[in-house]
Amino acid sequence: MLIGALVLGGCPKNTSDDPSGAAAETHSLVLDWDAQIKEIPLLAPRLGVTRFYSGHKDMRHIRSPLLSPDKKQIYFVGKTRSRWAIWSQSSDTSDAAKPLVVLDEKMKQKWGWRSLGDLALSPDGRHLVFGVRGPKKEQGLSPQFGVFDLKSRRLSTIPVEGVQQARTPTFVQDGNVLAFADCARIAKIPFQPPATAGQKAQTVAFVEGIRGACPLWRPRVGPKGKDWVVELQVALLTPQWQERLGVSSSVGQAQAGTSLWRFMMPMGQWVPLLSAANHAALKGAPQWSGFQTPVFSANGDAIYFSAGRRLAKKDLQSQGVDYVLPGAVSAGNGFLGVRFEERFLSVHADGNWAVATSNVLGAPITIPPGLILIDFSHLNP
């Protein structure tokens, strides 16, 4: 299941593509490269946050953290003072973070990359796939993905044909399909490394001029109170969830009482779209200061998201919301205000663990950007 709001941006619509495409099989989230950093202080009264990772001493930026299937390793994209790299960190802190793929000058000349994009890990835990920024200064990524084989330690690429960009990779099905964001659509390719030729992209969903897929909730105060407005919303739902949520095929303003988790969509399809031109409003959402970075559990029964100064968990089979980590983490005589970045959270397949990127603000000690491991098991019956 996927929910993400797509930010309007500067890529033209490719009218030659068939917008119908094939049904989407993804159960993950596509996020915007340009999403703003959000500040969320944390509190762990019941050991919700189990460890804090300081990471590399020269680390300046961390994003796209992933927990391995066996939960022994954490992979992430990080930038030190001098260069980008894909890193591996043991989840028990038995060793320091180690670079797996380093984007040095030699690699830049060989591959034509200038920075690394978001990261995806195959379900079997063997392949790391990442987007790359090309040599030009214009926005967007090269139409290819980098692939690092954790078993053979070899680096290769997957050229993608028929797209302008290839960003935010997401594994779907059993790891045989790779979904991603193009300039004005969501597409997919087969994943069968090593690829010897370019893979032809197939359209999954067509969207007007996106530059990513970042949640963009904002309050709009009107004569009848506060509505929550999303500029463009895309939600991937299984057929059973379409039936359970009772969605309609209309596009426009949702009826009063529609909850945050109900969306309008074409019936019988896995990829529902809300028109950006209509600026559809979702009424009846909780009156919080905002919603950011929703991430679904692997089974699609729960969603984790930030809301103002809180990190929350929503059980989609109930009406309530569990507040996972409100407040701040105590540290000696002060508090650690943890700043979550745009690609801040990934949830393990078992639903009990998550890994997040963080920067520490206002602390009595200096800690560079790093990683935290969160235990949600006390919230799961």
**Digit-coded pLDDT (tens) for 20-31:** 332 222 222 222
Task: With CA atoms as reference, report the closest residue to 305 among 289, 284, 317.
Answer: 289
Residue 112: φ, ψ to 5°: 80, 15
pLDDT in tens, 77-128: 888 888 889 999 888 767 778 899 999 888 888 887 888 888 889 989 999 9
Q: Measuring CA to CA, how many Å separate 375 from each of 49, 279, 331, 353, 369?
A: 6, 37, 19, 5, 20
Q: How far, in whole angstroms, is CA 326 from its chain's centroid?
A: 21
Q: Which DSSP letter does residue 254 get? A: P
**How many whole angstroms separate alpha carbon 293 and alpha carbon 305?**
6
Helices (H), 234-359: 239-245
Rounded to two decimals, the pTM is 0.64
When pLDDT is cut at 50, 70 and 90, the band that residue 368 belongs to is low
Q: What distance in Å separates the CA atoms of residue 331 and residue 360, rounded to the nearest whole number?
A: 11
Q: Is pLDDT of 145 > 70?
A: yes
Q: What is the mean pLDDT of residues 164-169?
A: 78
- CA end-to-end distance (rounded Å), the chain: 22
Please report the domains of the chain, with CATH numbers, ordered by start residue.
2-379 (2.120.10)
pLDDT in tens, 335-353: 444 444 444 667 777 767 7
Three-class SS state of 238 = coil
Phi first, then psi, for residue 109 (nearest 5°) are -70, -35
Using 50, 70 and 90 to split pLDDT, how confident is the model at 155? very high
Please check whether residue 228 is in contact with residue 27, taking contact to mean a CB–CB distance below 8 angstroms.
no
CA angle 327, 328, 331 (to 5 degrees): 155
- Calculate the alpha carbon distances from 199 to 12, 19, 166, 279 in Å: 22, 19, 12, 35
Residue 154 predicted with pLDDT over 90? yes
Rounded to a whole number of angstroms, the CA Rg of the chain reads: 20
